[in-house]
Structure 1
Amino acid sequence: MGRDLVPRDLARSNCHDTVRTRTELSRLLGCRRFRSSTVNHSSLLLQPDSGRLYVGARGAVFALNASDISSGSSLKIEWEASPEQKQHTECFNHIRLLQRFNSTHLYMCGTNAFRPLCAYIDETSFEMSSPEEGRDKCPYGPSTGYTGLIIDQQIYTATKYEFRSFPDIRRNSPSPTLKTEDAPTRWLSEADFVGSALVSESANSPTGDDDKIYFFFTERAEEQNGAHSGGSSSRVARVARVCKGDRGGHLTLQKRWTSFLKARLICSLPEFNFHFNMLRSIFFLPATSPKDTLFFGIFGLEWKNVKASAVCRFSLAEVQEAFQGPYMETENSGSKWKEYSGKIPDPRPGTCITDSLRARGINMSTSLPDDVLDFVRRHPLMSSRSSPLTGDLCCSGGPPTTHNECLCEFPVRCAQLPLSSCSRYTSCYDCIFSRDPHCAWDGGSCVDVLPHSNRSTLIQDIQHGSRGCENYHQAVMQKSRSVRVGDDVLLQCEVTSNLASPVWSQDGRDLQGYGLSSGVRTGTDGLLIIDAKPEQSGLYTCYGAENNIRVPIISYNITVQESTSTERPLHPLPAPLLPTSNLLNPQNMEALYLTLITILGGLCIVLTVVLLYVGFCLRVGNRGKYSLRAAAASYPSSKRTNKNRKHRSSSNMELKTISSHCNGHANGSAKHYNGDIQNGGLLQIVPGEGYTTSISDSPPPAPPLPTTPNHQSPDCEFTNGLSSTLPSMLRRINGNSYVLLRQSDSANTSPNGYSFTDELNKILEKRKHTQIQPRPDESSV
């Protein structure tokens, strides 16, 4: 068998673990399943003689029909942990050991919520005995590496027995209990056990050798700092052995193994210095002679982000040769390892009791000399390493068997599968490429090799998977297609093997589908012809290239036709428009027009408001002017005639109310009266404390001006302090109004000879001594 599961060319390219074909679970042929409410079906024991398959799960043990595990004839023993122990994580009873103890009973051990227990099972009644202590036989947890065997009613186990203990290989009662040494040289370093096996080397042995138990594990390599590193990983795969008849030493190595030795297992690609150091599982294939015994290991790689696996085959003869080689030793307090070059004691350390030793009086290990035992104590590691075998065959046929099935365990179920499904391979190449050891090509179909007694006519190539089908001609499916010039055409090709690559040819000429001017593109879904041309007409064939062999899958006869006149011509494509600015786009123009209209409308509204405001101000200014001439015109004509001459000087007097916001003429501004410019005669009446009317009330109409009496004395005054000698009478106005008196006479003095300034000063002087009335009728000066 080869050292890896995948072809060598794939293993050499980063060790891809791609499977050739995949099958859905629902499409498995002959698959039978066993389901139960329990989980973690981790322990299997097949008994061909009784036709039973024993399954150890979490909290239960099942007895199934080995011919059909899906039948309802299963038996069950429930062995749960107590309710108090189930309150914690993983506090269940996981069955870790399930072995035959004798001809009538089985023996099982469970974790029992981190308190291991063991019990016997009566195979006939399928009943469990009372549990017994199992701390030295079973690990505490369900995931701890563990292996166990029962040989001649003696239990050999290897695991980490306690939470903080070191890994150990032990043999329990009734024989003397033995275990590995931990000082001064620890025999095991963080070991993770995966399997064990008994090899009956005493059968037909010319030297009278003893049977041996082999243990397989992965541990931390303490010798990796020297020349024997053999890789960059700090963990390596090991095989250790002990003798079945070992009884320990008398004084040295008392209750310790005297035959313990270990060596390294190599599973690698030496040309790339690529090592698979993590041992996952082991399988022993016994033979008639112990030296012909083979074992197969599944190895893994954990290096950075690389995940890969391989299967390596080893010969027991090479392992025995490694145990007969040189030893390793430590120097400088164990910091450096090297090959031991000194004298080796006699008898050879680590060997079992043979006829030659018995002849010397050494019948048991307790009789071995102390120097031999002390050497074993300090030199448990061998310098030689066991390398895998390479050969022409992956699996030999062997004698016919009763059940040719594979039993698979899953966390929640068990599945029973036939070893071969040869009917799935429909062609010679498919049968040969599969490299299935149970299948071969008989010239017409892929058949199972086991029922055939004469296998000389069967074609099988397990090692290379490429020879034997040279004269086989497989019918190829052909299709015809007609396409027009300029069309794109996809030619599909389904490759069933994940290890095959599609290859296309046109009229026997290989196509390269990645050129810029090739006109074709190839992919996993087929071949794409781009913009078909008349010269691309021809026979296209798809091949599946695997193991340097091309197998035709499908052919296409492609005809590229010119467009005929009877066909309706295609409408010519419109000429491309000249590039234009986005601003001249119709939609953009419409938006621009709306924006301009909105702006103009806003300007019109603003101008309208301004004009209305100005007009309102002008109207308010006109209402605030009063003309004495107009008021006098409302009097009767007789009175107006008699008094016309007396008050000529007052006929041009204008009264203006200065209020709100339209003041009209400014103070001191020049006015034209009767063609003359008058600058000055203004009198401002300061608002008093009288009542004010609402702004909204319209002013009362101007009353007619009364005549000014001539007989009043200069001392005659009104109640508001105004002298009666003022040249004109003032109408009663609101207290918050301003009254301007404008005289058009050239003389600015009163008729009584007082100047206007003197009269005003006199009035202001009296105002200082006059008590202001609470509600004056007129404004104050």
Structure 2
Amino acid sequence: MAFLALHVLIGIFIYSSSAKGSSQPQARVFLTFNELQETKTSEYHRITHSPLDYRILLMDEDQDRIYVGSKDHILSLNINNISQDPLSIFWPASANKVEECKMAGKDPTHGCGNFVRVIQSYNRTHLYVCGSGAFSPVCVYVNRGRRSEEQIFKIDSKCESGKGRCSFNPNVNTVSVMINEELFSGMYIDFMGTDAAIFRSLTRRNAVRTDQHNSKWLSEPIFVDAHVIPDGTDPNDAKIYFFFKERLTDNSGSTKQIHSMIARICPNDTGGQRSLVNKWTTFLKARLVCSVMDEDGTETYFDELEDVFLLETDNPRTTLVYGIFTTSSSIFKGSAVCVYHLSDIQTVFNGPFAHKEGPNHQLIPYQGRIPYPRPGTCPGGAFTPNMRTTKEFPDDVVTFIRNHPLMFNPIYPIHKRPLIIRIGTDYKYTKIAVDRVNAADGRYHVLFLGTDQGTVQKVVVLPTNFSASGELILEELEVFQSNSPITTMKISSKKQQLYVSSDEGVTQVSLHRCHIYGTACADCCLARDPYCAWDGNSCSRFYPTGKRRSRRQDVRHGNPLTQCRGFNLKAYRNAAEIVQYGVKNNTTFLECTPKSPQASIKWLLQKDNDRRKEVSNVSSSSGKGLSQHLIHSLDQGEGAL
């Protein structure tokens, strides 16, 4: 049988940062929970099938353990494989406290248990652990042994009161930092949840806290995180930074606005001598802004801080602070990632103080005399070498701090705009972790963004010009089967692992799955994943110290034509071509399924030796309906000799 005409139909994959017709970027690869398990690059752990509100509270890379708090349990998991050698302590609230909690009308399931919210390393052998204790906070010392292989994990003390160390309500965040066996906490200090405080406890010195019921200092705060950050070379100048959001009443007294804030204190602050006794005399705060400037000059704010991540460097002043923000507006919903230079944050704290003046109590820069030492300076540091304690501060310094804790200038992100914006999506970002990755064409920041849908997006930031950056979603992973919102995330660059928690359990995920991108050099190159490169045989882990001749990687442009010469590139001219043949009086089902939501498909029809022409009115990107178009052309005898 002889065919009179031969037609060639070519489906072309065209890769871009977002698929055609999509208003939001889509992931290069999406893996369901089961598909992720099949890649052998994740581990999942939980104690029971019932939700227990897991929170990863401490990662100890020296002992190869991560410590997790949940309802009535403290977990110690192997950092290399969380499913191997898990250790657990059952630590419920007392029966009397649970009964009192229920009698007080609190939620029996989500309130009247011992929800572990503080795990800090106390010394080389012990952890300090606090839980909500059925609305009666309690703390204990846990013996974890000197070395991980000892497999020691047990409570080693009697319970002591956790008041001032952990919030009564488990649904109210507690943040904490341990320095030299002293605990610094941001939490609510009372049963009713009305007295918010930043508190130093567990100390041989006097306990110190924020000024009580003073809305200039704290106004209905929701604490997000806390970090110790050096300030210069003198260790006495180090500060503890607290990240939180608070509700502020406007000048009319009727409307409350949410502002994201950073506050800082000196760890060696012991309070004032005559004023602010047992209160911080170094407490300052500033507004953290993440906003979009409209064309008419108005700012649209992502005003609710959800999480922060510090990407540290050898020089503390070049530390980057990544923040996840959401909107509180009922009309405008979305998420954003903003990035701040620590040097910009410190500049604001060294700038003018805010002062309320006039009949409307408008905020203006304080114009009066600034007392010495400058309010917010730590005793015994580079600027106050002769003052060993805050009790030596002059009265005017202490009085100034009490009345002027707020800085006038807000803290803006790099380029004064978000790095990433998501609007109109069915998810919101909740958590963030960041890795710095060396690739063949430069150093990249890879963001791992947890969502309220139980997924993690892996996003690479691409430099585009001096004032903006692009970003690509490399992967989106379902790390939990039940789509539970992600509550905590920790990253280990050393182990190349990400650890994620939700109500349902804890998941460990490798930072890279290079083999899932495909089996061709062009597949690997188009992925633009800085962790991965074509090694001559497969898409595999990229090592900057490896042989340069055979590896192929192009994160910035993702151009296989320049990278994959000699490596099965023939089928990938103009990105990727799938060739199908059709003949007269013959029916062929044509299928061209993209490997990525980032790919759009273009169909070209070539008759005999004519030039290729694009086929329009295709009903489906997978090729369904296209065969009808081709059959019609062939039935009409087009191109027949």
- Judge same fold: TM > 0.5, yes or no: yes
The structure in which a higher percent of residues are helix is 1
Deviation sequence 1:641-678 (CA, Å, 0-9, x none): xxxxxxxxxxxxxxxxxxxxxxxxxxxxxxxxxxxxxx
Q: Which has the higher contact order (CA 8 A, sep 6+)?
A: 2
Task: Decide whether the 8 Å contact of 1:440 with 1:460 is kept in 2.
Answer: yes
- CA contact under 8 A between 2:226 and 2:243: conserved in structure 1? yes
Of 131, 147, 151, 1:110 maps to 131
Residue 98 of structure 1 corresponds to 119
| Residues 1:211 and 2:238 aligned together | yes
Is this contact kept in 1: 2:237–2:377, CA < 8 A? no
Partner of 1:140: 168
Q: Which deviations, in whole Å up to 9, do the C-alpha atoms of 1:250-296 show, x marking residues without a partner?
A: 12222211111112223334466443222111222332221122232
Inter-CA distance 529–41: structure 2 relative to 1 (3 Å threshold): closer
Q: Is the 8 A contact 1:434 1:465 kept in 2?
A: no
Distance in 1 (CA, whole Å) between partners of 2:343 and 2:290 is: 17
Aligned length in residues? 513
- Distance in 1 of aligned mates of 2:208 and 2:185: 11
1:322-348 deviation per Cα after TM superposition (whole angstroms, max 9, x unaligned): 111122122247743233333322322
AA aligned opposite 2:194: S
Q: Who is 1:46 aligned against? A: 59
Is this contact kept in 1: 2:137–2:166, CA < 8 A?
yes
- Pairing partner for 1:198 from 228, 251, 262: 228
Counterpart residue number, 1:31? 42
Offset of 1:506 from its aligned partner?
3.2
- The structural deviation recorded for 1:107 is 0.6
Question: Among the aligned pairs, what percent are the same residue?
Answer: 30
Alpha-carbon offset, residue 57 of structure 1: 1.4
CA distance in 2, matches of 1:217, 1:40: 21
1:477 match: 578
Q: Within 5 A, what are the aligned runs for 1:435-446?
A: 435-442=528-535, 445-446=538-539
Q: Distance in 1 between matches of 2:271 and 2:317?
A: 27
CA distance in 2, matches of 1:418, 1:531: 45
Distance change >3 Å, CA 335–CA 80, structure 1 → 2: same
User: What's 2:180 paired with?
Assistant: 152
Which amino acid in the other structure matches residue 395 of structure 1? R
Which secondary structure does the structure 2 equivalent of 1:291 belong to? helix
Do residues 381 (structure 1) and 406 (structure 2) align? yes
Aligned residue among 209, 220, 232 for 2:247 = 220
Cα deviations by residue, 1:135-180 (Å, 9 ceiling, x for unpaired): 1111112110221111110001002222242322111131321211
1:505 matched residue in structure 2 = 604
Query: Does the 8 Å contact 2:378/2:384 carry over to 1?
Result: no
> Aligned partners of 1:455 and 1:233: how far apart in 2?
58
Q: Is the 8 A contact 1:249 1:373 kept in 2?
A: yes
Change (3 A) 1:8 1:562: closer
Q: Which residue of 2 aligns with 1:57?
A: 70
Q: Which amino acid aligns with 1:521?
A: V
1:447 aligns with 2:447: no
Partner of 2:10: none
Aligned partner letter, 1:35:
R
Q: Larger radius of gyration, structure 1 or 2?
A: 1
C-alpha deviations, 1:681-731, integer Å up to 9, x for none? xxxxxxxxxxxxxxxxxxxxxxxxxxxxxxxxxxxxxxxxxxxxxxxxxxx
Match of 2:92, SS? coil
1:433 to 1:171, Cα distance in 2 relative to 1, 3 A: farther
Q: Does 1:77 align with 2:89?
A: yes
CA deviations 1:732-777 (Å, max 9, x no partner) are xxxxxxxxxxxxxxxxxxxxxxxxxxxxxxxxxxxxxxxxxxxxxx
| Corresponding residue of 1:166 | 195
Q: Deviation of residue 469 (structure 1)?
A: 4.6
Shift of 1:132: 0.3
SS at match of 2:167: coil
Deviation at 1:117, TM superposition (A): 0.5
Specify every segment of 5 or more residues in structure 2 that has no aligned partner in the other structure, as ranges. Answer: 1-14, 103-107, 146-151, 420-433, 444-491, 572-576
1:298 touches 1:309 (CA, 8 Å); kept in 2? yes
- Distance apart, 1:119 and its partner CA: 0.4
CA distance in 2 between partners of 1:403 and 1:522 (Å): 47
Change (3 A) 1:342 1:512: farther
Rounded Cα–Cα distance in structure 2 between residues aligned with 1:385 and 1:78: 45
- Structure 2 equivalent of residue 528 of structure 1: 625
Q: Give the 3 Å change call, closer, same or farther, for CA 15–149 of structure 1 in structure 2.
A: farther
1:246 aligns with 2:269: yes
Alpha-carbon distance in 2 for matches of 1:441, 1:351: 53
Gap runs ≥5 in structure 1: 1-6, 226-231, 514-519, 538-558, 564-781
CA distance in 2, matches of 1:42, 1:247: 32
Amino acid at match of 1:264: R
1:262 equivalent to 2:285? Answer: yes
- The structure-2 alpha-carbon separation of the partners of 1:370 and 1:560, relative to structure 1 and needing over 3 Å to count, comes to farther
Contact 1:184–1:378 under 8 Å retained in 2: no
**Aligned positions of 1:406-421 closer than 5 A:** 406-421=498-513
| Amino acid aligned to 2:578 | M
Structure 1 equivalent of residue 5 of structure 2: none
Please give the alpha-carbon distance, in whole angstroms, between the structure 1 residues aligned to 2:29 and 2:630.
Answer: 38
SS at structure 1 position matched to 2:601: strand
1:483 CA drift (Å):
5.2
3-state DSSP class of the match of 1:141?
A: coil
1:189 to 219, 242, 247: 219
| In 1, Cα distance between equivalents of 2:214 and 2:503 | 42
Q: Is the 8 A contact 1:233 1:303 kept in 2?
A: no
Q: CA deviation at 1:36?
A: 1.1
Summarize the alignment of residues 615-654 of structure 1 with structure 2, pairs less than 5 Å apart. Answer: none
2:373·2:384 contact (CA, 8 Å) conserved in 1? no
Q: Which structure dedicates a bigger proportion of its chain to strand?
A: 2
3-state DSSP class of the match of 1:424? helix
Q: Which moved more, 1:108-117 or 1:73-82?
A: 73-82
Does the 8 A contact of 1:267 with 1:388 survive in 2?
Answer: yes
Partner of residue 327, structure 1: 353
Q: Taking structure 1 as the reference length, what is the TM-score of the superposition?
A: 0.59
Contact 2:17 2:25 in 1 (8 A): no
8 Å CA contact retained: 1:218, 1:235: yes
Shift of 1:460: 4.8
Which amino acid in 1 is paired with 2:399?
D
Question: 1:337 and 1:420 mapped to 2: Cα distance?
Answer: 49
